[in-house]
Amino acid sequence: MIVAIVDYGSGNLRSAAKAFERAVREAELAAEVRVTADPDDLDRAGHIVLPGVGAFADCRRGLEALPGMVEALRRNVIERGRPFLGICVGMQLLADIGREHGDHPGFGWIGGEVAALAPADPALKVPHMGWNELELIRSDHPLLGGIGSGAHAYFVHSFGFVCANPDHLLATVDYGGPVSAVIGRDNLVGTQFHPEKSQAVGLRLIGNFLAWRP
């Protein structure tokens, strides 16, 4: 099985790849982690990961700059139902619209918008940066197996995913009010935090994703 991590020039994928390789080893899976900019690799992949750091529109542009990549994502994730994990901005791109530096269309695969964090308490800094506790809403979701409410994950973001359908919210984090931490529907999941930077909790989530057969 190939685990495709889509490389469209957004940030450092080395640590993400290393974390997935570690999770593959620990779960004793026969999987190859492939960091790729080739849309054909998505057709061959059993699991697809879309990372993303930086601004919403920049990430969207970066993806569009790879000929056939957005189409390959749509074909494999939406039509073929391959398990998909979006990380940080890779998750935010699933929204209908992103409101960072103006309004920009997302994929519209999970209804909602990506809006600026605006914690009322001025002591709460933006970006929301560091370790915060997950509050599980759907603890029965396979992605969250073995992870309990109160587990810490590492966040770095200034914008958050506001789900149109509350059923798509799998976990939240409290930052001056609830903020989406994990979202999903069918074969799609996304984390606002960085599992590849979240030590044991992150490796567990990655392992759960790799074992997931939605």
Residue closer to another protein by CB (options 27, 78) is: 27
Residue closer to another protein by CB (options 159, 187) is: 159
- Calpha distance 202→25 (Å, rounded): 15
Residue closer to another protein by CB (options 78, 117) is: 117
List the end-to-end C-alpha distance of the chain, in Å, as a whole number. Answer: 16
Strand partners, 2: 32, 45
The verdict on whether 157 is a catalytic residue reads no
Q: Are 57 and 90 in contact (CB under 8 A)?
A: no
Site residues for another protein per CB under 8 A: 11-12, 14-15, 18-19, 22, 53-55, 58, 123-133, 146-152, 154-158, 174-175, 194, 196-204
Residue closer to another protein by CB (options 72, 203) is: 203
Q: Are 83 and 29 in contact (CB under 8 A)?
A: no
Strand order in the sheet with 104-105: 104-105, 97-98, 112-116, 159-163
Q: Which residues contact 202 (CB under 8 A, 6 or more apart)?
A: 19, 153, 154, 193, 194, 195, 196
Q: How far is the CB of 164 from another protein (least distance, A)?
A: 26
Q: How far is the CB of 119 from another protein (least distance, A)?
A: 10
Q: How far is the CB of 200 from another protein (least distance, A)?
A: 5
Residue closer to another protein by CB (options 90, 187) is: 90
The verdict on whether 194 is a catalytic residue reads yes
Q: How far is the CB of 195 from another protein (least distance, A)?
A: 9
In DSSP notation, 23-55 reads HHHHTT---EEEEE--HHHHHHEEEEEE---S-
Q: Which of 59, 104, 163, 196 is catalytic?
A: 196
Q: How far is the CB of 51 from another protein (least distance, A)?
A: 12
Q: Which of 47, 128, 168, 194 is catalytic?
A: 194
Q: Which of 47, 59, 88, 100 is catalytic?
A: 88
Report H helices in the chain: 14-26, 39-44, 56-64, 69-73, 89-92, 199-211
| Pick from 76, 86, 101: nearest CA to 168 | 86
The verdict on whether 196 is a catalytic residue reads yes
Query: Any idea which residues carry the catalytic annotation?
Result: 88, 194, 196
